[in-house]
Amino acid sequence: MEKRARVLIDCEDAKGLVYEISKVFYDRGLNIDNNREFVDKEYGRFFMRTVVSGLFDTQELLDTLKSVTPAAAHIRVIEPEDKKIILMVTKESHALGDILIRHADGELGAEIECVIGNHDTLEELVRRFDIPFFYIPADDMSREEHEEHVMKLINEFEFDYIVLAKYMRILTSTFVKSYTQKIINIHHSFLPAFIGANPYKQAYERGVKIIGATAHYVTDDLDEGPIIAQDVIPVNHRLTWRDMQRAGRDGEKIVLSRALSLVLNDRVFVNGNKTVIF
């Protein structure tokens, strides 16, 4: 039976890679529906995303591709299907609400396994969409104790990504390292500027002319993980920092949605502390 797959290759650059990889597809009679490639010349890394269709055995295709690429090549052959995500929230509803509506309309491209909140403020909203909501309060617990409860719950689910939809707590190194390149955050600032708390007030006090939003992978370095998507909104001296905050929330949900679409469609490669996006 004919099927499609996304072939993702990240490896050391070498002469003739595109030819060798394309020959693997040709020899199996596969059609190349879409292809993008990029070479990071500074670090000598090769990136390729190809969509193929035809008759093939996934494991055999993967093994053959490994045989024609450099050692330690990172290769994935992914047959497209909806991925699974877990959402983490605090009190702000705009990013969460946008994701819930996209999911209800069939536009998200993912199944939401559950929503986890460190407050119960958003439980009623989530329940309206028939999605499980789990409230894990952080009061009277250390950060480590709270995260132990959260991780225990998370690990009961099969999932591809954890999405911080305005989850307003700093995650510990233990948590982040447990889900490397699986945590996506939306930050209410045009990173790397104005990191940390209340960036809109920081931006207002600095007299900026643009504000923005940044979606990125979470790493141990606060708000400094590889950036997936960004956007900016023009502002001027007439706006208070709260006006900027209100305007920024629209930008946040749009940028997070854009980032999720890229990730869920396997268009993002992590390249050190940067990303390659096809």
Active site residues: 223
Phi, psi dihedral angles at 57 (to 5 degrees): -100, 120
Distance, CA of 237 to chain centre: 34
Are residues 276 and 262 in contact, defined by beta-carbon separation less than 8 angstroms?
A: no
Q: How far apart are CA 4 and CA 25, in angstroms?
A: 12
Structure-block tokens of residue 217: 């992978």
Going by C-alpha positions, the residue among 124, 119, 186, 177 that lies closest to residue 151 is: 177
Give the closest residue to 94 by CA, choosing from 235, 203, 251, 211.
Answer: 251
Whether 142 contacts 115, CB under 8 Å: no
